[in-house]
Structure 1
Amino acid sequence: MSTVTITINRLGAQGHGIGNGPDGPVYVPYALPGETLAIARNGDHGTVMSTANISPDRVTPPCRHFGPDSDACGGCSLQHLADAPYHAFKRSLVVEALKSKGLVPDVGDLVIARPAERRRMVFSAKLTEKEFLLGLNRAETNQIFSIQECPITVPGIVARFDAIRAVGRSLATGAETFRIAVLETLSGLDLAAEGLKPLSDKQRRTVTETVLSLKGIARVSVNGEIVIEPQKPVIDFGIVRVSPPPGGFVQATKPAEEAMAELVMGHIGKAKRIIDLFAGSGTFSLRLARLGRVHAVESEDKPLKALDHAARNTQGLKPVTVEKRDLFRRPMTVQELKTYDAAVFDPPRAGAEVQVKELARSGIKKIAAVSCNPLTLARDLRILVDAGYRIRSVTPIDQFLWSTHVETVALLEK
């Protein structure tokens, strides 16, 4: 380890400041462009020792848990950056990813995220000899920082931290670390614990008694199995109400979900037959069913059943059919796609390369691509563009405030 002085000239994809050291780039967490720093350098990683000049873009972080100290929460990485450069940075992640594949479409302004919007949070939890820890990992470690506040999270979750801790404590079987996904629903909080051993009958009784003594807990599950469900958790996808499966994927914020849905529906327009690939519990399918017939394809059984149940029990929708299918191993083929006017795909971070190759050869006129990973999106869009599709618009959407994650909706037509 050595001490050197560097000037930060840009932000990296992980939100670290990057400066040019004597042997190449050095990555410095919590540093901003324009700042000259004395750092303790360990390989290509630097820790700030002192700052000669402070960037005008640096602001006071809104959360007391945020900071460069080892004893700080690692849930956010960019609270110290002012709004305008932060928004520009988020947009640049999409622009640069597309450029890396030779794509230079117009990229719209970032749809911004605001504090107190995160309705779904995944916390780390652990019972120690002294206390029950519930929070997020410290930066670049597996150590839990037990939080007392969280400015990105909806008030309905923050106000029930004590209740969540009480449930978590009743679930803990030892000193193992586990996760609790917390989703705010219309009927209360849905708590989905993962990484625990199967509960004994005694533990089940303890969890049940704990939940019944509290207010605002709709369901508790462990490893996908429901332990207690005083109220069925319900969320709405437009006019349709859905009960997602325990731990099922739900967009992290309602405003981001609605922004994505508005873009997708505006593009699909008057299509009569629509296929929704990687459909989940119906984020897009159930909204699109107001426009035309929808075929929803998803690899997991439980979210597909939730989608199907909601469609069958909602009036005013066009017919919705469902299909359980692993689109990575068995994509919808050109022959199967020929009856559809429009397609939507919203895959995991790995993207949809195998499925997109089939879409590229199809005659589908309109495609809406939704992605949480600009790099795999760029790869997939390159395939479609090479097959004759035109990118009409690209919209970056901030769903994970003060992080380096960005959602994107790209709209294409042939």
Structure 2
Amino acid sequence: MKKLYIERLGLRGEGVALDGDARVFVPYALPGETVIAEVEGDHARLVDIVEPSPDRIAPFCPHYAHCGGCAVQALAPAAYAEWKRGLVVTALRNAGLSCEVAPLVDAHGAGRRRVTFHARMERGHARVGFMAARSHEIVEIESCPLLVPELAGALPAARAIAQILAARGKPLDLSFTATLDGMDVDLRGAGPLEEHETSALIKAAEAHDLARLSNHGGLVALRRSPVVQIGPARVSIPPGCFLQATEAGEEAIAARVLAAAKGGKRIADLFCGVGAFALRLAQNARVSAFDSAAEAVEAMFASARNSEGLKPLDGAARDLFERPLSVQELAPFDVVVFDPPRAGAQAQAREIAKSAVKTVVAVSCGAQSFARDAAILLNGGYSLSLVTPIDQFRHAPHVEIVAVFSRRDGQKRLKRALLG
């Protein structure tokens, strides 16, 4: 046991202390606290709080500090918001960038509309819940207060599904999405199903009123086609597709994307998914949209064909990591929006940095990869006035970012781009 003083919160929301000259990470400890902890290497287990932080509040979830879903739930709102904003400030500073970071925007709304539960099998019994912090140990939970009410039945359904497959002994991931037509579930880890398992899963889908149940994206049971509303369009989403974590988060991000793109006549939406931005942007401009997920892109196009009042929306399924849009391909666009996975869009950012695109709107869920990609754009001659952090991952060490880049030397660069 050691007594440690917590200096700050780290990137994962863990308290950071010095043990001699070594840094030690203490989950669930807060800055300014003196704690007793069991130290093993550079990590520790919080045993007792000797001197609590004045910003410590009571957590609202009984599973907090056991389930690994929430990293920071006992920090007062003002201090929490400053910590979350600080994740972006620190990432930019570490990349050598200096720019204004706006106050954190709360976009939790009604709660998370997506959740993945994990199942592990022990002697024919399925244990279902979340993983403990820095562990593969399953913490079984009764409910999660961060989820939208439409996912209230997700845990009972997950247990029933996992129990049907418990005899296999395989670890499972069960991803639930709340849609307008009910819960959409995609099962991962089971492998090909036996006939009796499929039959039992179909019955479970009926018993728990699931809209759809899929196994690795393959249809098991379809009772209603899962649909989400995206701006003016209703989109029938493919199994396991990406959506922003909260509806409020999507709205907050999209509002800033649309404001930045206002006046644009030709817009490229890169890493478009099912069209969270493209379908909204197409109300006012011609949009070309690209993403590696072919089913998501097709769902977006199908929705656009069935929606009134949209301008032309084209594009294709394309791996932008391997084949980013080139300088020449970017030449027709006056606005580019890109929203890559957490790894960022390094290859695509390099092409944009050489282009003549007047306005670039970067959306990111990874502060470090965003800072790297921002540095590429700034080194290419773009300017950056404001970065906005958006919190749709409440109590988790993740933050969404929206930033707008612009350049004034567009005509010269456009000529060079067209000449190759």
Q: Give the TM-score category using the shorter length.
A: over 0.9
- Give yes or no for contact 1:134–1:145 (8 Å, CA) kept in 2: yes
The match for 1:59 is 57
Structure 1 Cα separation of the partners of residues 167 and 317 of structure 2: 35
Structure 1 residue 237, shift from structure 2 partner: 0.9
Alpha-carbon displacement from aligned partner over 1:171-211 (angstroms, at most 9, x marks no partner):
54522111010000000000000111211122212211222
- Give yes or no for contact 1:267–1:411 (8 Å, CA) kept in 2: yes
The match for 1:81 is 75
Structure 1 residue 160, shift from structure 2 partner: 4.3
CA RMSD in angstroms comes to 1.5
The match for 2:241 is 248
Correspondent of 1:377 among 340, 363, 370: 370
Correspondent of 2:11 among 7, 10, 13: 13
The match for 2:402 is 409
Whether 2:318 is the aligned partner of 1:316: answer: no
Structure 1 Cα separation of the partners of residues 13 and 263 of structure 2: 41
Alpha-carbon displacement from aligned partner over 1:95-146 (angstroms, at most 9, x marks no partner):
1111112222111111114475100001102343464322101121112111
Structure 1 residue 327, shift from structure 2 partner: 1.0
The match for 1:287 is 280
Whether 2:143 is the aligned partner of 1:145: answer: no
Whether 2:366 is the aligned partner of 1:368: answer: no
Structure 1 residue 52, shift from structure 2 partner: 2.3
The match for 2:113 is 119
Structure 1 Cα separation of the partners of residues 53 and 350 of structure 2: 45
Paired AA for residue 253 in structure 2: M
The match for 2:410 is none
Once the two structures are overlaid, the 10-residue window that deviates more, 150-159 or 47-56, is: 47-56
- Give yes or no for contact 1:289–1:320 (8 Å, CA) kept in 2: yes
- Give yes or no for contact 2:360–2:406 (8 Å, CA) kept in 1: yes
Unaligned runs of 5+ in 2: 408-420
Structure 1 Cα separation of the partners of residues 269 and 110 of structure 2: 30
Aligned residue runs from structure 1 range 226-241, under 5 A = 226-241=219-234
Correspondent of 1:34 among 28, 32, 35: 32
From the superposition, tell whether residues 168 and 239 of structure 1 become closer, same or farther in structure 2 (CA, over 3 Å): farther
Once the two structures are overlaid, the 10-residue window that deviates more, 177-186 or 157-166, is: 157-166
Whether 2:100 is the aligned partner of 1:106: answer: yes
Structure 1 residue 230, shift from structure 2 partner: 0.5
- Give yes or no for contact 1:356–1:380 (8 Å, CA) kept in 2: yes
The match for 2:411 is none
- Give yes or no for contact 2:99–2:384 (8 Å, CA) kept in 1: yes
Taking every aligned residue pair, what percent have the same amino acid on both sides? 42
Structure 2 Cα separation of the partners of residues 283 and 51 of structure 1: 44
- Give yes or no for contact 1:171–1:207 (8 Å, CA) kept in 2: no
Aligned residue runs from structure 1 range 205-216, under 5 A = 205-215=199-209
Alpha-carbon displacement from aligned partner over 1:335-356 (angstroms, at most 9, x marks no partner):
1111111000011111111111
TM-score (norm 2): 0.94
Aligned residue runs from structure 1 range 120-269, under 5 A = 120-129=114-123, 131-215=125-209, 217-269=210-262
Structure 1 residue 276, shift from structure 2 partner: 0.6
Structure 2 Cα separation of the partners of residues 182 and 301 of structure 1: 21
- Give yes or no for contact 2:342–2:366 (8 Å, CA) kept in 1: yes
Structure 1 residue 49, shift from structure 2 partner: 3.3
From the superposition, tell whether residues 47 and 146 of structure 1 become closer, same or farther in structure 2 (CA, over 3 Å): closer
Aligned pairs, number: 407
Q: Hey, which bits of structure 1, 4+ residues long, moved more than 6 A?
A: none
- Give yes or no for contact 2:108–2:249 (8 Å, CA) kept in 1: no
From the superposition, tell whether residues 33 and 312 of structure 1 become closer, same or farther in structure 2 (CA, over 3 Å): same
- Give yes or no for contact 1:115–1:401 (8 Å, CA) kept in 2: no
Structure 1 Cα separation of the partners of residues 300 and 354 of structure 2: 28
Alpha-carbon displacement from aligned partner over 1:363-413 (angstroms, at most 9, x marks no partner):
111110000101111111111111121113211011111110111011111
Once the two structures are overlaid, the 10-residue window that deviates more, 114-123 or 322-331, is: 114-123
Name the SS of the counterpart of 1:257 in structure 2: helix
Structure 1 Cα separation of the partners of residues 239 and 150 of structure 2: 19
Once the two structures are overlaid, the 10-residue window that deviates more, 35-44 or 309-318, is: 35-44
Structure 1 residue 6, shift from structure 2 partner: 2.1
Name the SS of the counterpart of 1:379 in structure 2: helix
Structure 1 Cα separation of the partners of residues 25 and 99 of structure 2: 30
Unaligned runs of 5+ in 1: none
Structure 2 Cα separation of the partners of residues 257 and 114 of structure 1: 10
Structure 2 Cα separation of the partners of residues 164 and 188 of structure 1: 15
